[in-house]
Amino acid sequence: MENNKKLHVGLIFGGNSSEHDVSKRSAHNIYDAMDKSKYDVSLFLVTKGGYFLGHDASSRVFDGEPEDEVAKQELSKLDKRNPLAPILNLGEVSDIDVFFPIIHGNLGEDGTIQGLLRLLQKPYVGSGVLGSAMSFDKDITKKILKIAGVPTTRYKLLTPLTAERYTYERLSKELGSILFVKPANQGSSVGIHKVESQEAYSEAIRDAFRYDSKVLVEEAIEGPEELEISILGNHHPIASKVGAIKVPASDAFYTYDNKFVDASKVEFDVPVSIPVALAQQLTKMGLDSYRALGLKGMARIDFLVSQDGKPYVSEVNTLPGFTNISLYPQLFAASGISYSELIDRLIQLANEEFERQSKILYDFKPLPPKDQDVDNK
């Protein structure tokens, strides 16, 4: 590719998860931060029903037209009997050099969109199928991190077949009187409840099972400090400085509304002033988690630090938010990497990983079989 040729980037956003509108805001920020002297950008909005819209329709939504009206007009042109109808508008991909998916939650961070882009044989920003899927599943994440020696909070896994065995009384004896109930595969605090009684526990379990067939019941860390770190890279990742989130005392935890609806009462400390030893420990835990899960491109690692200074990995986000209040770009800005430079690096990392995978898949030549001694047959 000529050095003066612009890269054509396909920005994929939206999706059918509860974080649809958050993804749209992230996409706006990424688009605005991209150096248009380097990139031509095509937009692909994934509707709440899971259909891709082409660039022109996506641009209309991007510019403020009502999404439902635009989607209705565009989808009326599709033959929905065609099993490929949801992705037909990706027919514009022929000259796209690299995709930038920024779909948060289901179908975006769980490996689904990554599998599609890999089938299309296109570079894409972020982690691959396996790393994305493992990191999105809180149960699998904890299992992998335990093997890697990274501390996480204790929990019990419930399924529809096992949930009846576990009452609040039984779990509170094992995990403590304050419990957090979480769907295993869901993002942005959706379906998460803090419970301290059987009544609240029963209601939380019912709600969590609305979102997933696996539910975690997790111990609470007393008076925790919520800290975060951003990671960037493929095989040689780097970590940002550490940031802190301080939620109002009236809120049990960092909720969806805190994150995306009304953050006026939330304080962000970027970078946060913490002991050097703790910052070093969190950096190591973040990088160890990133490597153990086989992540690429980027991730934000969330921590809980107990009152006695013990840190635990709380969550791993492989496609973190890029909204105006999102900590992933803020933390790297505080670490000396601007928003625009961050986008450049992520696209470069996507191309590097694609070239590495292509070399393995298409350039690999197995050793010829050893000559067999016919006399010894």
Q: Are 234 and 296 in contact (CB under 8 A)?
A: yes
Point out the catalytic residue in the list 17, 18, 326, 335: 326
Q: Are 251 and 263 in contact (CB under 8 A)?
A: no
Residue 37: strand pairing partners: none
Backbone angles phi and psi of 311, in degrees to 5:
-95, 150
Of 262, 261, 258, 238, nearest in space to 247 by CA? 258
Q: Which residues of 57-87 are buried (b: 16+ CB within 10 A; e: fewer)?
A: bbbbbbeeeebeebbeebbeeeeeeeeeebb
Q: Are 293 and 141 in contact (CB under 8 A)?
A: yes
Point out the catalytic residue in the list 19, 67, 228, 315: 19
Cβ count within 10 A of residue 226: 17
Angle ∠(260,264,265) on CA atoms, nearest 5: 105
Cα-Cα end-to-end distance for the chain:
53
213 catalytic, yes or no? Answer: no
19 catalytic, yes or no? Answer: yes
**DSSP conformation letters of 68-79:** HHHHHHHHTTS-
Cα–Cα distance, 51 to 107 (Å, whole number): 12
What does the DSSP 8-state code read for residue 318?
A: S
Point out the catalytic residue in the list 18, 26, 58, 188: 188
What does the DSSP 8-state code read for residue 109?
A: T
Output the six-digit token pair for 90.
């990706």
326 catalytic, yes or no? Answer: yes
Cβ count within 10 A of residue 176: 15
Of 312, 248, 255, nearest in space to 281 by CA? 312
With H, G, I as helix, E, B as strand and everything else as coil, classify residue 35: coil
Task: Give me the active site residues, please.
Answer: 19, 188, 326
